[in-house]
Amino acid sequence: MAITKVGVLGCGLMGAGIAQVAAQAGFTTVVREVNQAVLDKGLARINAILDKDVGKGKLSAADRDASLARLHGTTSFDDLADCDLIIEAIVEQLPAKREVFTALDALCPPSTIFVSNTSSLTIMEMAAVTKRPDRFAGLHFFNPVPVMKLVEIVRALTTSDETIAALHEFTRALGKTPIDTSDTTGFIVNRLLVPFLLDAVRLLESGVATREDIDEGMKLGCGHPMGPLTLLDFVGIDTVYSIANIMFDEFREPRFAPPPLLRRMMLAGHFGRKSGQGFYKYEG
């Protein structure tokens, strides 16, 4: 299962990051978006990050140019037909993911490996709509992709040993560290992280402490690089709210249920840094 050409579905924050690291690692990379405007925005983000790295001396201009030469954008599924690996990084909604994988399954040869970057949905629910469940798995990258070293490799009930081995090799070629997890909602990191973040909201909601003291407590008392409420703003209130609902639907455990304050922030459009307002306010 040699991987030389990589397709990425989605050129948003995660998709653009995945496409960038794949191209920088030497893979011919095709990133697909639903329209040209969204694609151009994602490619511009990649260009800006690479230019910034050149300016800081982290990357040579020659390596930047070589990476961009390996990266191609498209709005057509057809351009993904000859990829060895396709990584899905679109909206975290199961019907949308199943739709794109159904289309790609009819387009790509049986040898193509399909993976999802989902952070909460089960892989088997997507693999079931294809004729390649043995070549279907999860690759959960972390934001920001160029910086974060961890990738969760998710084995579904039907994923073959050969597919897992190929994904380990690919992940290491990106300069990342893979860890293995079974196909359970939230996998390893979010299964532990989401209840922690929700409990921080509950502390604030119940008046136990201020947002600043909650964050300082975890930074200085536990050595976390940022407090849980700051992290919620960074990840996105809407993202965590969606993941929490998916996990609660799966396990029906109160610790996964979003607190009322989180729902009210969703209704107010306070999504964190991306909207300029979350638990904190952000300028620019």
Residues marked as catalytic: 119, 140, 152, 190
Q: Compute the distance between CA of residue 135 and CA of residue 1 in angstroms, rounded to an integer.
A: 10
For residues 127 and 179, the answer to whether their CB atoms sit within 8 Å is: no
Which two structure tokens, joined as six digits, stand for 145? 């992709």
Q: Please give the radius of gyration of the chain, using alpha carbons only, rounded to the nearest integer.
A: 19
User: Can you tell me the distance from the alpha carbon of 34 to that of 89, in angstroms, rounded to the nearest whole number?
Assistant: 12
- Identify the H or E element spanning 136: strand 136-141
Alpha-carbon distance of 62 to 67, in angstroms, equals: 9
User: Measured at the alpha carbon of residue 57, what is the angle toward residues 140 and 55, in degrees to the nearest 5?
Assistant: 90
Distance CA 129, CA 177 (A): 29
Q: How is residue 229 written in tokens?
A: 């409420």
Q: Measure the CA–CA gap between 104 and 56, rounded to whole angstroms.
A: 39
- At 85 the three-state DSSP class reads strand
